[in-house]
A and B are shown apart, each in its own frame.
Chain A
Amino acid sequence: SQKIEQNSEALNIQEGKTATLTCNYTNYSPAYLQWYRQDPGRGPVFLLLIRENEKEKRKERLKVTFDTTLKQSLFHITASQPADSATYLCALTQDNAGNMLTFGGGTRLMVKP
Chain B
Amino acid sequence: DGGITQSPKYLFRKEGQNVTLSCEQNLNHDAMYWYRQDPGQGLRLIYYSQIVNDFQKGDIAEGYSVSREKKESFPLTVTSAQKNPTAFYLCASMDRAGELFFGEGSRLTVL
Contact = CB atoms under 8 A, between A and B. Distances in A.
Contact of B50 (A89, A98, A104): A98
Interface of B: 4, 31, 33, 35, 40-45, 48, 50, 56, 58, 88, 90, 92, 94, 97-105, 107
A99 B105 CA distance: 21
B98 A32 contact: yes
Interface stretch (A14-22, A37-45, A56-64, A72-80): A37-45
A62 to B, nearest CB: 15
20 contacts: A34-B98, A36-B100, A43-B90, A43-B92, A44-B90, A45-B102, A49-B98, A89-B42, A89-B43, A91-B43, A98-B50, A98-B56, A100-B58, A101-B33, A102-B45, A103-B44, A104-B42, A105-B40, A105-B42, A106-B42
A99 B43 contact: no
